[in-house]
Amino acid sequence: MAHSTISDEQLLIRSAGVFRTYGFEGTSLARLSEATGLEKASLYHRFPGGKEQIALAVAQGTHAWLRQNVFEPLKEPGDPRKKLRTAIEQLRACYDDGTLPCAFEVLSLAGGSPELAGALKDALQAWIKAFTDIAKESGLPSAEARKRAEQAIIQIEGSLIVGRVLGDTKAFRKSLDELPALLS
Amino acid sequence: MAHSTISDEQLLIRSAGVFRTYGFEGTSLARLSEATGLEKASLYHRFPGGKEQIALAVAQGTHAWLRQNVFEPLKEPGDPRKKLRTAIEQLRACYDDGTLPCAFEVLSLAGGSPELAGALKDALQAWIKAFTDIAKESGLPSAEARKRAEQAIIQIEGSLIVGRVLGDTKAFRKSLDELPALLS
DNA sequence: GTCTATATTAAGATAGAC
DNA sequence: GTCTATCTTAATATAGAC
C-alpha cells in the first residue's frame, strides 16, 4: 500500500461500517486497516488507544450524524409530519435499507469500555428525546409521546434483528412506514 | 483443573451464556473452557468443529428449549390467554429479566457459518409460527395474527437492545407485559 | 503522517499421555 | 473422555525509517 491519506470523517465512516458488520469483538485492526487503507501503525498514530478509542469515536460520530441529519432537522420550523418523513429517509439510508446493523446494538455487547457504553447511552437518550419532542409537536401528550418515542426505536432495533435472521428487510421497511402514525 | 465431566445439556447451557454475553466473535475457546470447566482439548473432543460447531449446537439447543418450554405448551389444550401468560414467564426467565442478550441477535452477526444462519432462521420462523397460532386461537384472523406475532418478537428483540444501552430493563418488562394484548 | 518490521500476547487447533 | 504440552496463525501494540 502506497502512502494514503484519509479524512477523519471518512476514516470514521469506514470504521463504523466494519464495527457494524462484524461487531465490536469481531472488528480487528487488520479489518480496520483494510477498510480505511491505512496501515495498523497509522491507525495507532491517530488513535493511540487502538480499537477501543476508534470504537468510542465511532459511537460519538454516530451521535453527531444523528444530531445533524435527524435531531436538528426535526427541530426546525415546519410541518412535523413532513419533517418526520425526511428524518425517516435519513434513517433508511443510515441502515442501508435494513441490511446494516445498528451501532447501538453491536457496540453495546460486553467487551467495550465504560466510556463507550456511556457514549452510546447519551446518544440513545438524545434520540429518544428527539422523537419525544416531535411526537409532542404533533399533539401527543408528554407521557404518551415519550412512550411512543421509545416504542419507535424499539421497533427499528427489533426489526433490524428479525430481518437479519430471516434474511428479509420487509420488517424493517414496515417499521419505518409505521413511524408517522406512531409519532403523531 | 482436575478431571471434570459435564452433561451435554449443561455444556450447551453454559456455552450459550458465553455466546450471548460476548457475541459470536467475542467468544473464545478460553472463555468456553472457563465456563464449562473443560480444557480446550476436551471441547474439541466433543466438538471437532470447534467454536463454529459449538455455536451451531447452541442455536439448535435454543430452538429445542423454545420448542419444549414455549411452542409445545402453547399447543396444549386450554385457555390461550392462560397458556400465553405461562409462556411469557418462560421467556422472562430465558432472558434473565432482560439482562441477557438474545442468541438470535448475537449469533446472527457476520462471522458465523451458513449452517448457523440457517439454524437461527429455522428457529425464528418456528417462533413466529407459534405466536401466530396462539393469536389465531385467541380469535384473530390469520393475516392479523401473523403480523402481531412478528410485532411481538420485534418488540422483545428491540427492547432487549434499548434496555442494554440504557442500562434499564423497564422496556423489556413492558414489552412482555404487552404481549397478551398484542396476541389476542 | 504513513510506512515496514518486529515484539508480544492470545486464539484456534492438534498430538499424545493417562 | 479429559488432560498437558505444543504448534500455527492472528491480534494487539510499538520502534524507528522515510
Residue of least CA–C1' distance to D18: A3
> pTM for the whole thing?
0.97
3-class DSSP assignment, residue B57: helix
pLDDT value, residue A2: 55
Which pLDDT does position A45 carry in this prediction?
97
Interface residue of A109, A121, A127, A173 to substitute, partner B, most B CBs within 10 Å: A109
pLDDT tens across A33-91, in order?
Answer: 999 999 999 999 999 999 999 999 999 999 999 999 999 999 999 999 999 999 999 99
CB within 8 Å: B154 and A171: yes
Query: How long is the CA B10 to C1' D3 vector, in angstroms?
Result: 20
Q: Is the pLDDT of residue B3 over 90?
A: no
Q: What is the pLDDT of residue B43?
A: 98
What nine digits make up the cell of A101?
446493523
**What pLDDT does A183 receive?**
98
Strand C nucleotides within a 7 Å radius of protein CB atoms: 1-5, 10-16
Mean pLDDT calculated for residue range A14-22: 98
Q: Which domains does chain B have, with CATH numbers?
A: 8-95+102-182 (1.10.357.10)
> What average pLDDT does this structure show over A115-134?
98
pLDDT, position B2: 55
Percent of chain B with pLDDT over 70: 99
Residues B74-104 have pLDDT tens digits of 999 999 999 999 999 999 999 999 999 999 9
Average pLDDT over residues B171-180: 98
**Whether the predicted pLDDT of A145 surpasses 70:** yes
Asked if strand D comes closer than 7 Å to A40 Cβ, the answer is yes
Please tell me which of the candidates B22, B150, B162 has its beta carbon nearest to residue A162: B150
Q: Give nearest nucleotide to B45 (CA–C1').
A: D1
pLDDT score for B1: 44
pLDDT at A1 over 50: no
